[in-house]
């Protein structure tokens, strides 16, 4: 079984600043995928970024990047030059590479960007 832990229930940051959201996970698998999903007030779940565990290079998508520390089972999300539209709940999720495709989610971090 997999577990995903997000220890920051809420965060806030000034517009244009950088913010880092934390996530730790536990899995017995060696091959797996990690994801960050964003859920704005519209409720839609939007994929922000993904990381394959066998890739050492940290994933980057425009202003979003991750710090993947496999040995520490840590997967943090950095948002640079934060914008008002980044205000949302952010969920970290994990799935294995084989067999069961289900996503295991953390409890989420509510991020507020302050104008």
Partner 1 sequence: DAGVIQSPRHEVTEMGQEVTLRCKPISGHNSLFWYRQTMMRGLELLIYFNNNVPIDDSGMPEDRFSAKMPNASFSTLKIQPSEPRDSAVYFCASSSRGQDEQYFGPGTRLTVT
- Residues 40 and 37: their CA atoms lie apart, in Å, by 10
CA distance 93 to 108: 10
Query: Any bridge partners for residue 24, and if so which?
Result: 5, 74
Rule CB under 8 A: say whether 25 interacts with partner 1: no
Which of positions 51-90 make contact with partner 1 (CB under 8 A)?
Answer: 52
> According to the binding rule CB under 8 A, does residue 35 interact with partner 1?
yes
Residue among 73, 42, 68 nearest 57 (CA): 68
Which span (14-22, 55-63, 67-75, 96-104) binds partner 1, by CB under 8 A?
Answer: 96-104
CB of 72 to partner 1, least distance (A): 22
Q: Which of 24, 29, 65, 105 binds partner 1 (CB under 8 A)?
A: 105
Number of residues in contact with partner 1 under rule CB under 8 A = 22
Contacts for 101 with CB less than 8 Å, ≥ 6 apart: 95
Residues 7, 106: Cα–Cα separation, whole Å: 9
Nearer to partner 1, 64 or 105 (CB): 105
Give the residues lining the site for partner 1 (CB under 8 A).
33, 35, 37, 42-47, 50, 52, 91, 95, 100-108
């Amino acid at each position: 079984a997999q577990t995903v832990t997000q220890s920051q229930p809420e965060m806030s940051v000034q517009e244009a600043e950088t913010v880092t959201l934390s996530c730790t996970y536990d899995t017995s698998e060696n091959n797996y995928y990690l994801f960050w999903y964003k859920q704005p007030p519209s409720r839609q779940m939007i994929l922000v970024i993904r990381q394959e565990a066998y890739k050492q290079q940290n994933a980057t998508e425009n202003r979003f990047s991750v710090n993947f520390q496999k040995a520490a089972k840590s997967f943090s999300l950095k948002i640079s030059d934060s914008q008002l539209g980044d205000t949302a709940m952010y969920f970290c999720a994990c799935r294995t590479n084989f067999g069961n495709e289900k996503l295991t989610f953390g409890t989420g971090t509510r991020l507020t960007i302050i104008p």
